[in-house]
């Protein structure tokens, strides 16, 4: 396992070096049984997320613990008022976000989003729209999903249909259970990419208000 972990570590380091959004010298990488721990200091939340995404793209990576710290430059810095104004503009300019239903609070560069949207995808789009703003040190997403009531059987059927269209191979070993206002997704997928595809199909379905991710990544043996 140590040799395999060493290989994964080197691959993650190469992926970080390849990704132009990240300075690989700012990020430390440790691997234990396929679980990657990222450490270090970066100057934006966007770079922290980019490092995490880079690690997840590497074959053999099961999970990522992101312990990277964000320290925004202090001179010149962005005030919370400037960041809040930028957040509002980003939400307004994103056509997939119902910005009039979302409010933000900024404290020492940390942005908290609140309000309500119709779909889980809109909730994630709101967070994604502000992720790359200068001065943002972190994001807490407290947006509620308040979609119209849909019968659980209809939600489950819509999800299974979407999985068939979007993730046929990855969906073979995936189970979906609808419990009141939440969807529980369990089973196994072969990679982080397949996991993202499966969850994307679930989150984009009308009637889904909460998603409980219980998927396990089990790479296909070559």
CATH of the domain at 206: 3.30.1340.30
What lies within 8 Å, CB to CB, of 192 at 6+ separation is: 56, 57, 61, 217
> Judging by beta carbons within 10 Å of its beta carbon (0-12, 13-18, 19+), is residue 132 exposed, middle or buried?
middle
Predicted confidence at residue 196, as pLDDT, reads: 82
Of 70, 100, 125, the residue at which a domain comes to its end is 70
Of 101, 119, 145, the residue at which a domain comes to its end is 145
Predicted confidence at residue 59, as pLDDT, reads: 85
Contact 21, 46 (CB under 8 A): yes
Predicted confidence at residue 31, as pLDDT, reads: 94
102 in helix, strand or coil? strand
Domain presence at residue 33: yes
| Run of H or E including 145 | strand 144-145
Do 91 and 57 belong to one domain?
Answer: no
Domain presence at residue 30: yes
Predicted confidence at residue 169, as pLDDT, reads: 53
Q: Which residue has the tokens 């908290």?
A: 112
Predicted confidence at residue 76, as pLDDT, reads: 60
Predicted confidence at residue 220, as pLDDT, reads: 65
DSSP one-letter code for 61:
-
Q: Residue-wise over 182-202: b if at least 16 C-beta within 10 A, else e?
A: ebebebbbbbbebbebbbbbb
Residue 207 — left, alpha, or beta (φ > 0 → left; ψ -120 to 50 → alpha)?
A: left
Domain presence at residue 16: yes
Of 22, 45, 70, the residue at which a domain comes to its end is 70
Give the predicted TM-score (pTM) of the model: 0.67
> Which range of residues forms the domain containing residue 92?
80-145
Domain presence at residue 199: yes
Predicted confidence at residue 74, as pLDDT, reads: 57
Predicted confidence at residue 150, as pLDDT, reads: 67
DSSP one-letter code for 118:
S
Predicted confidence at residue 115, as pLDDT, reads: 95
Predicted confidence at residue 75, as pLDDT, reads: 46
Domain presence at residue 182: yes
| Run of H or E including 5 | helix 2-18
Contact 190, 219 (CB under 8 A): yes
C-alpha span between 107 and 112 (Å, rounded): 8
Do 161 and 113 belong to one domain?
Answer: no
Tokens representing residue 127 in the block: 């967070």
Domain count, the chain: 3
Tokens representing residue 49 in the block: 């997320």
Do 173 and 204 belong to one domain?
Answer: yes
Interior CA angle at 191 toward 171 and 12, to 5°? 165
Domain presence at residue 222: no
Do 117 and 156 belong to one domain?
Answer: no
Predicted confidence at residue 73, as pLDDT, reads: 66
208 in helix, strand or coil? coil
C-alpha span between 131 and 49 (Å, rounded): 8
Domain presence at residue 75: no
216 in helix, strand or coil? strand
pLDDT per residue, tens digit, the chain (222 aa), is 668 899 999 999 999 999 988 888 899 999 998 899 999 999 889 999 999 999 998 988 888 999 999 887 654 668 899 999 999 999 999 999 999 999 999 998 899 999 999 888 899 999 999 998 988 989 999 999 887 666 777 777 877 777 777 655 556 678 888 887 678 888 888 788 788 888 887 877 777 778 888 888 877 655
Do 124 and 183 belong to one domain?
Answer: no
């Amino acid at each position: 396992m140590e040799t395999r972990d060493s290989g994964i570590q080197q691959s993650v380091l190469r992926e970080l070096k390849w990704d132009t959004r990240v300075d690989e010298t700012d990020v430390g990488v440790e691997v234990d049984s396929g679980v990657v721990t990222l450490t270090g200091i970066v100057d934006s939340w966007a770079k922290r997320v980019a490092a995490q995404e880079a690690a997840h793209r590497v074959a053999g990576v099961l999970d990522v613990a992101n312990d990277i710290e964000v320290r925004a430059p202090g001179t010149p810095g962005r005030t919370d008022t400037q960041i809040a104004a930028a957040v509002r503009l980003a939400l307004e300019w994103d056509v997939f976000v119902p910005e009039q239903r979302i409010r933000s609070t900024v404290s020492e560069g940390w942005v908290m989003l609140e309000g309500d949207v119709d779909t889980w995808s809109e909730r994630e789009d709101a967070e994604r729209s502000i992720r790359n703003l200068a001065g943002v040190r972190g994001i807490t997403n407290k947006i509620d999903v308040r979609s119209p009531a849909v019968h659980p059987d209809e939600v489950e059927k819509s999800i299974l249909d979407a999985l068939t269209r979007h993730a046929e191979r990855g969906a073979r070993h995936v189970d979906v259970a609808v419990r009141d206002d939440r969807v529980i997704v369990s089973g196994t997928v072969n990679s982080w990419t397949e996991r993202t595809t499966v969850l994307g199909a679930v989150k984009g379905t009308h009637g889904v208000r909460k998603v409980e991710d219980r998927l396990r990544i089990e790479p296909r043996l070559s």
